[in-house]
Amino acid sequence: MQFDHGGRPEIPALEAAVVRHIVSARFQDLDVDAVDAARRTLLWATATAVAGSAADGSDGVIRFVTEPGGHEQATLIGTGLKAPAAAAAFANAVFAKAHEYEDKYWLDNAGGFAMGFAVAPAVLAAAEAAGGINGKDVLTAIAVGIDMQARLLSAIRGEISPVWTPWNSTYLFCNYGATVGVGKVLGLNEEQMLDALGLIHAQACGNFQGQMEGVLGIRMQGGFAVRNAFASVELARNGISGARQFLSGRFGFYKLHYPNHTIDYESILDGLGKNFLGRRLGFKGYPCGVVAHPVLDAVRQLSSSFALKDLESVHVEGSPTLYIMTEPPERRLNPHNGIDAQFSLPWVIACTLRDGTLKLNHFDNALVSSPDLIALAHKVTVDRQEGRESVTVEIRLKNGSRLRSQPVAFCLGHPDNPVTTETMIQVFRDHLDIAAKPIAAEAGEALIRRFVGIDGIDDVTRLFDGV
């Protein structure tokens, strides 16, 4: 290990290039697609946070971030309240993940990893608190944060779902994406950004255990990532040093979290500053765990071809990542609460079969004991097949006949089968009156217009005027 004249380890070429890019990137460096992707990321995170503000457990989150007091720096989306920036960002990230209706960066057809639900609220709260920051700078920070998070994630060769690793890579990597976004929008210099990323390396974590047990803590991890990001950035601004070799060091990120995987370090820098990977971000078509989405598309292919009373069973063939929503089987077949149901493949199939689609109210705690839906869920069997990415569903009827779907590789919400901006706006509208503090239609329309046209706003502190 080489040391500089101050006695600190020299900055490795990888970390130096990453930090140089983060600090130097400007709005003018983004092409039209990258700008639009950042805008859609912010729009979707805000729309889902509006609904999430009234989700189960969100009242406790609101009390947690407001009762200690402090400066009212940033908006708690959907509540009409304000809190210190880091606290508001914590809450908003939790809200945006509460209904499992967030974004996904797809590494393959079998599943993806959320990013924008944490990065966008973190950037927005930091900008709102700082004041005087325009919409273009917010979009730039989101684009750079998402791009770096996607690059760090994509460098891992091999599977990183819970079938093969104990880490929940969504929450783990969000620590880094949020730190980049917050540090970027607050104008850290290269030395400060390096320290901030070294400091987040001392905090980053994320696991699946809460998902297995159906507890509210699973969604808190997005808030923890954002909270950690603010701590790292503020400590770096105040001269606290962080590890310089946070990626490539002996105890750096990959050797710590993915010691059995091959890492393509060169890919992190490939196209850096030219190809912003956020343009490959997808936005969910259904409010549930993402591995179920191709299955639901396949179910909907067939649902109009038979009467529900004639159904004998439903058989699903898909990738090993379906594990996430089929294990442990006793909880997936008999969800104890709405969180269990969000991650139950049999449950979401049952709801879609009965009602034709999947909606937020399918995860109300009062509904999960519905006898007819439980009975339908128990008709589902799943075959997880190694090496498979597409999904096929077979409907077996009581008269012995069978209906088989076409294979689904790119589900609704995948970047190759995207949710349109018009659909996003309609979802935003649908969520206005279910916020913790319902938003009137006229005020909601004005809010949506400001987010759609954010690149023309001079100071983002005005975004939430009137709500």
The pLDDT tens digits of the residues spanning 310-333 come to 999 999 999 999 999 999 999 999
237-250 mean pLDDT: 97
More confident residue, 389 or 22: 22
- Write the Ramachandran bin of 466: left for phi over 0, alpha for psi from -120 to 50, otherwise beta: left
Instruction: Please give the Cα distance from 292 to 380 (Å, whole number).
Output: 13
pLDDT tens track for 353-364: 999 999 999 999
Q: pLDDT, tens digit, for every residue of 117-126?
A: 999 999 999 9
Query: What integer pLDDT is reported at residue 165 of this predicted model?
Result: 76
Query: What distance in Å separates the CA atoms of residue 252 and residue 235, rounded to the nearest whole number?
Result: 20
DSSP 356-407: SS--GGGG-TTTTT-HHHHHHHTTEEEEE-TT--SBEEEEEETTS-EEEPPP
Assign a CATH topology to domain 13-285+416-462: 2-methylcitrate dehydratase PrpD (1.10.4100)
Above 90 in pLDDT, residue 27? yes
Collapsed DSSP state (helix, strand, coil) of residue 66: helix
Distance between CA atoms of residues 248 and 427, nearest Å: 42
pLDDT confidence of residue 389: 84
Counting Cβ atoms within 10 Å, is residue 325 exposed (0-12), middle (13-18) or buried (19+)? buried
Is residue 159 pLDDT above 80, yes or no?
no
Structural domain boundaries in the chain: 13-285+416-462, 290-404
- The reported pLDDT for the residue numbered 161 is 64
First to last CA, the chain: 54
User: What's the pLDDT at 362?
Assistant: 97
- Asked if pLDDT for residue 9 goes beyond 70, the answer is no
pTM: 0.96
Confidence at residue 221, expressed as pLDDT on a 0 to 100 scale? 98
Reply yes or no on whether the pLDDT at 2 is more than 80: no
Distance of CA 52 to the CA centre of its chain: 13
> What's the average model confidence in pLDDT over 67-86?
97
Closest by CA position to 224, among listed 163, 287, 178, 256: 178
Position 135 confidence tier, pLDDT thresholds 50, 70, 90: very high
CA angle at 122 for the pair 426 and 364, rounded to the nearest 5°:
50
pLDDT of residue 7: 58
pLDDT of 379 above 70:
yes
- Domain 290-404 adopts which CATH fold? 60s Ribosomal Protein L30; Chain: A; (3.30.1330)
Q: What is the pLDDT of residues 400-426, one digit of tens each?
A: 999 999 999 999 999 999 999 999 999
Helix (H) or strand (E) holding 37: helix 32-52
pLDDT surpasses 60 at 3: no
Of the pLDDT bands very low, low, confident and very high (cuts 50, 70, 90), residue 175 is very high
Mean of pLDDT values over 26-55: 98
Instruction: Copy the structure tokens of residue 297.
Output: 């598309």
Residue 163 has pLDDT above 80, yes or no: no
pLDDT in tens, 260-302: 899 999 999 999 999 999 999 999 999 999 999 999 999 999 9
Can you tell me the mean pLDDT for 7-18?
A: 85
Average pLDDT, the chain: 95
pLDDT of 5 over the 60 cut: no
Q: Is the pLDDT of residue 1 over 60?
A: no
